[in-house]
Structure 1
């Protein structure tokens, strides 16, 4: 299977037995959601994953997902409001409800309240309730009209579709959580509610202050992020189509097209892309997904996703390993159709004048024409492996790197199996060929296409400059 599966860990998967079952079912990347849980629990989970790496010899990647500025209503003791379509309610800061009998929703974000204008939309409870702002009644008080009926409990998420909020994407809590993640040794960091490229730069600056810069996945869940996607792709290392909040920020009917546009842009940039949210949601309580869910997962893969992610399904669901196994089965059939439809032809790069991209494409063409069993690349930074993966070769791709940080991140790229090379060999090409000679995955007579960036004397690293057809 070429597509990577990300499993979110939680109460349903906090034991060694449960995480082992996820690995056996096909998960290779594990998400730690820092919106829930504390340091003690994460220490335990990281310990289990690292022990499983040693035991299995597999590269298992840990993804830290920062909370970001999740905006919630506050509790003023009025309980749950029952809202009818057309009803008017007030949205304001704590204390603004005094002397008023009208339904009141509390928001303790003065900067945000001041930035909201008449005519804009407010979405509550993951979009289940929609309001239109009809009047401003004070610096910290707005009048809303309900567009549909529903309930409004306290402490629920609230969103402002299409609005660039004045809240920073990187919060004080995120800074504390990042320090914990660095201490625990996470491999990759996902940043929530990214609005612009500067948010990524800020996070990486904080990492430098902490002594280590990790790859950053930009979670795309704001309309402003979609508008600035090209610049965000320049600064981040990968992206996530976070369809939950993104579905509140845009017209729901627009979401499938947005998903395809984001995936196309990430593929063209040679950066891994994750599709997430409600992929097999019914499997939280059912041992089988719905027909619509299986189609959704397959379409994400056919769109060009490198990774597909499970959230509640593995964090709190009754059937976490079954969800991974079913997702793996869907991916296997979707990939079979993809290659049947495309033939064995690799996907040409969008920029064929870029030497590294064109050379990677040529290597994939060579693998196709010679009926090679695999492509093997030695990549110091991992960039060659990611460019090769973007060409979507039918053959498996083995990416050798002496840097464990690089190996853990290449785990996100389609079709890539990270490998630790033999350290005694200085020559990168020889390291790749030795891997083929010594690996039980290859038999005598097997043909493999080898790519490597062999530095000249005095160079620390270089672009790929060797492509070779190697027969074991």
Structure 2
């Protein structure tokens, strides 16, 4: 399987044998959700990931997912409450409760800037869109409004609230996130996911905080706001990977447009050689059911055929009854979809006509591997860039990415078709490191050929090492 699985850890999946079984079914990245716990809670989990890593003989990645400024309502009197279509409720600041109509359920929101400038006709969503309202009357501008329910559901306290047509320039990093970021790095996480990104400034701020801590880990920008979609190109350029977080994104943007938005984001990431993750409700029915629905199977397959590098499981593995079976189904669906995807594209993606030598080197290596029916592509990639370029061409062959840097090794787990491996830095030549890997690895039989890409010799004064060699090597 070339597509990577990200599994969220929780009460259903934190036992070592469960985690190991999920790895056997394609999980390469474990998500640690800091919305529900802190670094000390996850410290032994990171250690367990390292133990499994040693047992299986290949790298695994621990990704800390920061909470971000998820906006929630306050306490609802009588919670849980039944809300029926057509019911009128009151939304306002906490100190406005006494002035609300006596016959209207009061929903308090302690974030004044989100109530600024609301007007009649604007939508307001609660509980990830499960409850939808329309503002019908302004009781006091910027402070209190009447809303009519457009559907019926249960309303409970502390649920998330969203204003799909409103831009609210809140920073992606809260004080809690800053603390969690520092502590997550201290316990050894390999990547950090940043929630509710709206501009590249959010990504730059997170990277600067990581640098100040004396670390480097990749930053995954979670796209959950309409404003983020509007700024997609600059965010992709700044981030190391992108997550299509369809839960909140499906609230901010129309569900009718969400499938196309997903495709546009995936395409933008591949063009910039950035890994892209499709997340939220991939196999939600398997929280309780031992098998997915047909619609869920098609959703996973379509994400793979759109070109996603990773698919992510949330409740399914965190609290579900069948975490391992869910991974097994994802693995099977992705493997089947990949074969059709490769059949459909026919050959590796050719770079656009603009002059870009490194992209054409990667493309050429993929073409040689295709024509020679090579077993694999071997890329010595100190920074990971060559492996990323090869992955973006979508070759049929597995890409073995060789690097002496453990940070890069675990970052490369995010990329389609890439198997990162450590190499001996005592061998000076990058090409010789790659050839030694092929000679000693049991991945390749005698007589099989591989395409090796590497770079070392460079013009005087040039410090950056770029791939400049393609070699067909028979073991």
- With structure 1 as the length reference, what TM-score do the two structures score? 0.96
> Does residue 211 of structure 2 align to residue 208 of structure 1?
yes
CA distance in 1, matches of 2:202, 2:325: 37
C-alpha change, 1:351 and 1:320, in structure 2 (3 Å) is farther
- Corresponding residue for residue 72 of structure 2: 72
Task: Give the aligned CA root-mean-square deviation in angstroms.
Answer: 1.5
By how many angstroms is 1:77 displaced? 3.5
Q: Which whole-Å CA distance do the structure 1 matches of 2:388 and 2:429 have between them?
A: 21
Please report how far the alpha carbon of residue 16 of structure 1 lies from its aligned counterpart in structure 2 after TM superposition: 1.2
Cα contact 2:283–2:313 (8 A) shared by 1: yes
| C-alpha distance in 1 between matches for 2:50 and 2:199 | 34
More displaced stretch, 257-266 vs 206-215 = 206-215
The residue aligned with 2:358 is 356
Structure 1 residue runs of 4 or more that deviate by more than 6 Å after TM superposition: none
Alpha carbons 1:352, 1:358 under 8 Å: kept: no
Cα shift at 1:326: 1.0
Please state if 1:288 is matched with 2:307.
no
Question: 1:265-284, aligned counterparts within 5 Å?
Answer: 265-284=268-287
Using the TM superposition, give the Cα deviation of residue 471 of structure 1 relative to its aligned residue in structure 2, in angstroms: 1.2
The alpha carbon displacement at 1:350 in A equals 3.5
- Could you tell me which of 289, 311, 315 is aligned with 2:314? 311
Alignment length, in residue pairs? 471
Q: Offset of 1:131 from its aligned partner?
A: 1.2
Structure 1, residues 203-243: CA drift from partner, whole Å, max 9, x if none?
Answer: 11111222223211111111110111011111111111111
Structure 2 SS opposite 1:266: helix
Instruction: Give how far 1:259 is off.
Output: 0.8
Residue in 2 that maps onto 1:31: 31
CA contact (8 A) 1:367 1:375 kept: yes
**Do the aligned residues in 2 keep the contact of 1:314 with 1:320 (CA within 8 Å)?**
yes
Choose the corresponding residue for 1:161, options 160, 164, 174. Answer: 164
2:398 & 2:76 partners in 1: Cα distance?
57
Superposed CA deviations along residues 163-210 of structure 1, whole A, max 9, x for unmatched, are: 221321111111111011111111111111111111111111111222
Of 445, 456, 459, 1:443 maps to: 445
Query: 2 CA distance for matches of 1:360 and 1:352?
Result: 15
Q: 2:414 aligns with which of 409, 412, 415?
A: 412
Match of residue 395, structure 1, among 378, 394, 397: 397
Partner of 2:337: 334
Counterpart position of 2:59: 59
TM superposition score normalised by structure 2: 0.96
In the alignment, structure 1 residue 46 sits paired with structure 2 residue 46: yes
Report which stretch shifted further, 389-398 or 161-170.
161-170
**Displacement, 1:116?**
3.3
* Counterpart for residue 253 of structure 1: 256
Residue 472 of structure 2, aligned match among 466, 469, 472: 469
Is 1:181 matched with 2:184? yes
Say which is worse superposed, 3-12 or 73-82, in terms of deviation: 73-82
In structure 2, runs of 5+ residues without a counterpart are none
2:147 maps to which residue? 144
The change in CA–CA distance for 1:141 and 1:33 in structure 2 (over 3 A counts) is same
1:76 to partner: Cα distance:
5.1
Structure-2 separation of matches of 1:87 and 1:309: 36
Aligned to 1:386: 388
